[in-house]
A and B are shown apart, each in its own frame.
Chain A
Amino acid sequence: MSVTYAAVQWNGQKKLYDWVIAAGVVLYLGLFVGLGSVVHPQATAETLLIRGLGTAAFLLLHVVLSIGPLTRLDRRFLPLLYNRRHLGVTMFTLAFAHGVFSLVQFHALGDVFPLVSLFMAPARFEQLGFAALVILFLMAATSHDFWLKNLTPRVWKRLHMLVYGAYVLLVAHVSLGALRSERNPVLVGIVAVGVCVVAGLHVAALVVRRRYVEVCEVARIPENRAVLMKVDGEKIAVFRHDGKVSAISNVCAHQGGPLSEGKIVDGCVTCPWHGYQYLPETGASPPPFTEKVAVYPVKVEGGKVMVQPCAKTNSM
């Protein structure tokens, strides 16, 4: 294949993003290890490094997981998503360093091979960390657009949903490991706050997606015609036909014509520009055509039309 992957190239915003990541990581590790060796002169450097790297990666994972729902709650956070991949790869690098240092520190130079030692180990929390690291590795390794294309977006998306599995494993890794050794309740509190933030943002984003927005009185939509509504930056054409209402994307799949200015002809939404047609319930062009536009959940309550501004069929 002679495909090149240059869709997202280096540019000013991306460089700035990476500088901020690098500064954050250096600041965190510098403070943790630097201040740590002053406050705890007895602690060995390896311990401070292992702890600094592990907590930095875990913190970064919280940031990575929070960006998605944040952008759904408020689109102004979108620039944080733009280069989330680099955030993910940075997180993996820190986690990998933590894992390898731990493996060397706690399992090397013994009577068996370090990985064998890890799997025989009695405390169990380290195996959970290892499983999470394997997942994070798969994700970091396939993060390039090359893999998105070659694995197909569906498989890729599924693979990347595993990050939630990794997150659960890591909460267990920390709770069954460090939190059992440490005595300070503040540490339990910090992990609990982290879990609540990640879970809370996801629930809030789901609720916002499920929310219905009032469009207008049904009576205001002429039969076989549409009104245009704009919510959260999405433009939606709401049609009335045969005593039903349907909501589809306003943007024609041909050249972006305004479907809300079209009309239902022979049971199909027909674009005012070049006449492409879509079934109002599914957004699909009638066979043999294969074009498709997004459709939105819609209902009528007390004579008012309500639409869920999140499309039912995502392109992925």
Chain B
Amino acid sequence: MREDEFYVGYLPHAPAGVARVVRRAVVALLVLVVTLSVTLVVAQMPFAEASFEYGVVREFAGVLYEHPFPHVVLQDGAVHLLAGAGKRGSSEVAGHDGHDVRLRGSRILRAGMTMVEVETGSVRFGAASRGPEEVVELGRAALQGEIVDGKCYLGVMNPGVGQVHRDCAARCLAGGLPALFVTEGRVLVLSGFDAKARMDMVGVPLTLEGVRKKIGGLEVFELTGR
């Protein structure tokens, strides 16, 4: 810069030496913008195969069971967990364990598991047709994994696990959505977990002790100790 160059913002042109430096700085910043955005896009963790059929409403008919979380067993034997709107469990089905049910909702799908976000007001009950589901005890186990909320994990949010999603998972579980335990590639329905009292246990790696069970078509892990 020549000794006497002086920048005044409200004059129409900056002095040549100053303008050159500023032009270079702006070009450098634009290059940074491009490289950084591309790098961050590529460096993010891959996203899981999961989906939420948002806006696609289907009809479901089967038998409703409430334990450990509300689910419906369809005529072909498939099991769909149920969720309410937003971060709430499906409260409309309470008190109808073993009843025939018809409802509408949108599917949430991941790795062979299905959940249905029930459309408010669409639930119709029939007769109490069945007894309780068959329970098979598979023995005690101490499993390493992460407690997640079923709705986000199965596809409403992606990612639906880990630190960035932790607070959301805690809120969803406190709202009564089904709890899942993601352990060594398997996903178990978590029973006996008091989410409101133990939000701190959600969304972090931990070891849980409990009993593995099969309740109807659901793989369940029932907590025993702390």
Residues of chain A at the chain B interface (Cβ within 8 Å): 8-9, 11-14, 20, 23-24, 27-28, 31-32, 35-36, 39-40, 42-44, 46-47, 51-52, 55, 59, 63, 74-80, 82-83, 105-112, 117-118, 120-123, 125-126, 176-178, 180-184, 186-187, 190, 233
Known: A35-B38, A40-B41, A187-B40. 12 other contacts (CB 8 A): A32-B40, A35-B41, A76-B22, A105-B157, A110-B172, A110-B175, A111-B171, A111-B175, A122-B170, A177-B164, A182-B44, A190-B36
Whether A109 pairs with B88 at a CB distance below 8 angstroms is yes
A sample of 19 inter-chain contacts (CB < 8 A) reads A24-B30, A24-B33, A31-B37, A32-B41, A42-B51, A44-B157, A76-B1, A79-B22, A80-B22, A82-B9, A106-B171, A109-B88, A121-B199, A122-B166, A178-B164, A180-B162, A181-B162, A181-B164, A187-B43
Residue among B7, B10, B166, B172 making CB contact with A78, cutoff 8 Å: B7
Whether A83 pairs with B9 at a CB distance below 8 angstroms is yes
Whether B48 pairs with A42 at a CB distance below 8 angstroms is yes
B21 interface residue (CB < 8 Å to A): yes
Interface size on B, residues (CB 8 A): 59
- The prevalent SS among residues of A at the interface is helix
Whether A8 pairs with B10 at a CB distance below 8 angstroms is yes
Residues of chain B at the chain A interface (Cβ within 8 Å): 1, 6-7, 9-12, 14, 17-18, 21-22, 25-26, 29-30, 32-34, 36-51, 85-88, 157-159, 162-168, 170-172, 174-176, 199-200, 202-203
Question: 10 closest A-B pairs (Cβ-Cβ)?
Answer: A109-B86, A121-B167, A110-B87, A42-B47, A106-B168, A76-B21, A31-B37, A180-B163, A181-B162, A123-B166
Whole-angstrom distance between the Cβ of A157 and the nearest chain B Cβ: 20
Contacts of B42 in A (CB 8 A): 39
CA distance A106 to B164 in the complex (A): 10
Contacts of A35 in B (CB 8 A): 37-38, 41
Contacts of B44 in A (CB 8 A): 36, 40, 43, 51, 182, 184
Contacts of B14 in A (CB 8 A): 13, 79
CA distance A6 to B17 in the complex (A): 29
Contacts of A59 in B (CB 8 A): 32-33, 36
Closest to A42 in B: B47
Contacts of B167 in A (CB 8 A): 106-107, 117-118, 121-123, 126
Whole-angstrom distance between the Cβ of A78 and the nearest chain B Cβ: 5
Residue among B25, B34, B159 making CB contact with A181, cutoff 8 Å: B159
Residue among B26, B36, B162, B175 making CB contact with A20, cutoff 8 Å: B26
Q: A107-B171, A121-B171, A125-B163 are in contact. Are A186 and B7 (CB under 8 A)?
A: no
Whether A78 pairs with B40 at a CB distance below 8 angstroms is no
Whether A107 pairs with B168 at a CB distance below 8 angstroms is yes
CA distance A126 to B169 in the complex (A): 14
Whether A9 pairs with B10 at a CB distance below 8 angstroms is yes
Whether A186 pairs with B43 at a CB distance below 8 angstroms is yes
Whether A110 pairs with B34 at a CB distance below 8 angstroms is no
CA distance A107 to B175 in the complex (A): 11
Contacts of A74 in B (CB 8 A): 21
Whole-angstrom distance between the Cβ of A189 and the nearest chain B Cβ: 10
Whether B7 pairs with A122 at a CB distance below 8 angstroms is no
CA distance A8 to B9 in the complex (A): 9
Contacts of A77 in B (CB 8 A): 21-22, 25
Whether B33 pairs with A28 at a CB distance below 8 angstroms is yes
